[in-house]
Amino acid sequence: MRHSRSRSVAVTTVDTLEDSPEPGGTAHPPPSRALLVFAAVIGAAPACVQELSGGSGDAGSQPASDAGGDRAGCHEVQLLRNPAFEDDPIASGWSLESNATSDFVVTSAEGLDAPSAHTAPNKAYFGGLDGVQEHLYQDVVVPSATTRLVMTGQYQVRTSELRTGEVDRAWLELTPQGSASEELLRWSNMGATTDWTAFSQPASRSHAGETLRLGLRASNDGQRWSSFLFDTLALTASVCP
């Protein structure tokens, strides 16, 4: 039972969708129910572009491309639409795929496995159910003069798992059109937190001029729940014309 989820959403059933394997792992067995595609409000157009007055630091390694931020004429652009899940209607700009029969991810609900949002009132809340698989994503267009791309945000991991080893997982990925996904970060039941924790990770290359799908995925096994929560996201491009 997922204790904190109670909001109803519009649901569209599709005939079939392939179950995406975890990066570097084996594909999950297909769900016993039809995969449901939830459209809280799906932004079909590329994400809007938001100019930033300052940059975000990163805790990851520098990519091979020029960092760009210190060069004359360079600036930073935030690429995500609704990055902190605060736009009305709720979840606008994001799309959700889930194998749960009644599910939503973007929520203001609170409970044992769902603390209050980092940027009130909403956050993205994955898991909290046994056997659930979820994918929240949006497409963005990277400016052609981009020299560096960095993903930042806040996360929490809550779990009721008693077993050792990674059995419940979440991961952040970038997928260029027609290419394989790049996994930026991964979390599991083995990394439980007690508060919001910042993350920052550069992409392996700039992806200048490309259309990318930014995706957050989570997968719980059939025994005991884990919850993965995300908020205050940003996908920042360093642009040097």
Residue 1 has pLDDT above 60, yes or no: no
Average pLDDT over residues 68-96: 89
Write down the pLDDT at residue 10. 33
Q: Is the pTM of this model over 0.75?
A: no
Write down the pLDDT at residue 6. 36
Report all structural domains of the chain as residue ranges with CATH numbers, in order of start: 11-239 (2.60.120.260)
Percent of the chain at pLDDT above 90?
59
**Strand residue runs (E) in the chain:** 11-13, 36-41, 50-51, 75-78, 94-98, 106-107, 123-127, 133-141, 146-159, 169-176, 182-188, 197-202, 211-219, 226-239
Write down the pLDDT at residue 103. 63
Residue 68 has pLDDT above 60, yes or no: no
